[in-house]
Structure 1
Amino acid sequence: MSNDTYILTTKDFSILEALCDNWQGRNDRLVALCRRKIQKAIVVFRDDLPGDVASVNSRVRFRAHAVESDIRVISTGQATGPVGLFLPITTPRGLALLGLRAGQKIEFENTNGVAETMLLEAVEYQPEASRRERQMIGQEVVTSLQRPNLRLVSGGKDGCHSQLIDASGGFDDPGPSAA
């Protein structure tokens, strides 16, 4: 994947489109970065998003300016929670991380016009991957609880000389009252 290609879910793509449309009077650098993300995006359904891609509500580990790593949750805006936990996509760093794949770098201008380089080191939690895992576990539990409808017995008919006779006289439809 090119360093200038981003993978976005349909939901994240729609959020970015809405942000670009409603960013009147805001920082031109943010609008430019948002448009760049939209133009270079590969849009996928949430079930098709690779587990190492940063999406909204993902917990990511990243490095800015090649200094110490930081861990944040990418959010859509001002979140109520502990300070330093969230990184909104309404900030240059939050927007820059959205759609990156682990190991991918991005260069952008921050709000002061200074060039920044960020590296997405890892996606530690991604809601789409978590949802897929829960579905797989749920399906396995349901599958293991179901009992087979048919039991095969090897040699089950050996020694059995009588034929089964249908008690209903050949008519096996119980009719609408059985429903």
Structure 2
Amino acid sequence: MSNEETCLLTAKDYTILEVMLERCLGRDDPIAEILKRKIDGASVMFRDDIPPMVVTLSSRVSYRVDDGPAETRIIAHDEMRGLVGSVLSITNPRGLALMGLAEGQSMVIRRADGTEEKLTVQEVVYQPEAAKRETEGLKLGLGGPASKPRGTILRLVHSADGLPATPIERVPAPLDDDPGPSAA
């Protein structure tokens, strides 16, 4: 595995890939080669330490195949019904190749016809581990990029009427001095 293809995997993602490799039926399984390359070149990290620009399971990633147009998919363990065209399973060579790559990294894989294609990660649009850290940072009121003003809980990103988007602010609950039934 070249330096361009080294990957960072969470412990969970690494374990899933190991199990997949053990279950490969034969050496001619098209994903066996990719699994071996991923496992051999992986650096395993705790989910709290994985950088937000790395593709993990359930990440939404924008990528290119060779010099083609960018495509955006959710990297999933299995095909998900109802999400046709938005999910790329790691049982698919392309989905597997993207696992563990960071923005700007590429991996070359062999197609069924023997030709090769190069997959390049353009952007990790959403990563569940980063989203979890951000949510926990908001709950704890920690500083850093995860910390946002405590009153803002939603952000309007598109307005149907074409007006500029404004934040939707949290409305505090009225002061309730009723001690409840346990005080009786």
Partner of 1:85: 86
Between the aligned partners of 1:25 and 1:40, the Cα distance in structure 2 is 21
Are the structure 2 counterparts of residues 27 and 83 from structure 1 closer, same or farther at C-alpha, using a change threshold of 3 Å? farther
TM-score (ref. length: structure 1): 0.75
Structure 2: gaps (5+ residues): 143-148, 151-184
Matches within 5 A, 1:9-20: 9-20=10-21
Are the structure 2 counterparts of residues 8 and 111 from structure 1 closer, same or farther at C-alpha, using a change threshold of 3 Å? same
Q: Say which one has the larger Rg.
A: 1
Measured against aligned partners, the alpha-carbon deviations of 1:118-140 in whole angstroms (never above 9, x if no partner) come to 11000000000000000000001
Alignment of 1:38 onto 2:39: yes
Query: For structure 1, which segment, 50-59 or 112-121, has the greater mean C-alpha deviation from structure 2 after superposition?
Result: 112-121
TM-score (ref. length: structure 2): 0.73
RMSD (Å) for aligned C-alpha atoms: 2.0
Cα deviation for residue 81 of structure 1 reads 2.2
Between the aligned partners of 1:101 and 1:113, the Cα distance in structure 2 is 26
Partner of 1:129: 130
Contact 2:10 2:56 in 1 (8 A): yes
Contact 1:92 1:111 in 2 (8 A): no
Partner of 1:152: none
**Amino acid in the other structure paired with 1:102:** E
Greater relative contact order: 1 or 2 (C-alpha under 8 angstroms, separation 6 or more)? 1
Partner of 2:164: none
Alignment of 1:58 onto 2:59: yes
Between the aligned partners of 1:128 and 1:26, the Cα distance in structure 2 is 33
Between the aligned partners of 1:27 and 1:85, the Cα distance in structure 2 is 28
